[in-house]
Amino acid sequence: MFARLFAIGCALLLWGATPGALPSSTAPSSTPLRMVSLNLAMREDIDTIAAELAERRLVPGADLVLLQEVIERDGGGDVASRLAEKTGLHAVFRPAFALDTHRTMGLAILSREPLEEPHVLRLKQFDLSFRSRHRIALGVAIETPAGRIMVYNVHLDTRINIADRVEQLSAVMSDLDASPDPVVVGGDFNTNDNLWLFHTIPIPFSSKQRNGLLRFMKGKGFQSAITGHVATHDALGMQLDWIFVRGLDAGSTAIQPMAISDHHALVTTISRPAPAQSAPGR
């Protein structure tokens, strides 16, 4: 008799459970992900790079790393993949343009989690009279403990004004708008304070490109992880490097000068926004 009552009770409990309910452990984690962005300034000495990144607790301590000016040498592989082998991270590298007959420069993304759907976006190329470059953005999807996010690493031209800079970003905006997932866009945006005549002659301190970039990204729903005007380059206090997020919260950001580069490392945390608290009933 007791066994029969026990079985009926269990059936009632199962019948009353919410259909399709998932265990709470499957919900995205709110634990922040540590992120680093750094222009490597074409450095190739992997032991020196790895040593400083480890000394400053940047890599392998980061969950996500964006690297610009990554060198790939014929027969030697690319710097980012070699760094990933040393640190146990996953890596995707894509070349942008050739520097000479033996070296190519490109972008890389390193991650603690596997990198999915890697794809290259060709950005608008401008005729800069000399040293015109084929600029790219590198996009990936990552399944993180905080849920799926899209990540884009960019490196824009230097000798262009803000309207052209925004135009170079248009390919990234078109690509990410097709995804409902939270997005990170970071890298070297080269937002200098010059007005460029004919892409060759700079008029110093006559154009605050950072302000135009911030307006554009805000209009696309992004917030900057950097607040205020903070130098990210050794020369003239220039703020060239950025991290933007949409659908995510960015924590406080540190700007770390580096011996291996004339750019500074950007270090921040990203996380899912806390769920909105409903007002208590009356």
Per-residue pLDDT of 148-171, as tens digits, reads 999 999 999 999 999 999 999 999
Q: CA geometry: angle at 226 spanning 224 and 229, to 5°?
A: 115
Domain locations in the chain as residue ranges: 31-271
Does position 55 have pLDDT exceeding 50, yes or no? yes
Interval 242-264 mean pLDDT: 96
What's the pLDDT at 277?
57
Q: Which of 35, 33, 37 is nearest to 240 (CA)?
A: 37
What's the pLDDT at 15?
41
Interval 56-63 mean pLDDT: 94
Does position 18 have pLDDT exceeding 80, yes or no? no
Q: What is the pLDDT of residues 70-92, one digit of tens each?
A: 999 998 899 999 999 999 999 99
The strand pairing partners of 111, in sequence order, are 64, 90
What's the pLDDT at 194?
77
What's the pLDDT at 75?
80
Name the CATH superfamily, with its identifier, for domain 31-271. Endonuclease/exonuclease/phosphatase (3.60.10.10)
Interval 245-263 mean pLDDT: 95
Local confidence band at 94 (pLDDT 50, 70, 90 cut-offs): very high
Alpha-carbon distance of 209 to 190, in angstroms, equals 9
Does position 117 have pLDDT exceeding 70, yes or no? yes
What's the pLDDT at 17?
41
Q: Which letter does DSSP use for residue 20 in this model?
A: T
What's the pLDDT at 23?
41
What's the pLDDT at 225?
96
Residue-wise DSSP of 36-82: EEEE-TT---HHHHHHHHHHTT-TTT-SEEEEEEEEEETTTEEHHHH
What's the pLDDT at 29?
64
Does position 16 have pLDDT exceeding 80, yes or no? no
Alpha-carbon distance of 45 to 56, in angstroms, equals 17
Local confidence band at 216 (pLDDT 50, 70, 90 cut-offs): very high
Does position 11 have pLDDT exceeding 50, yes or no? no
Does position 30 have pLDDT exceeding 60, yes or no? yes
pTM of the model: 0.86
Percent share of the chain, pLDDT over 90? 68
Q: CA geometry: angle at 273 spanning 221 and 172, to 5°?
A: 35
Mean of per-residue pLDDT scores for the chain = 87
Looking at 125-134, 182-191, 246-255, which range is the least confident one? 125-134
What's the pLDDT at 171?
95
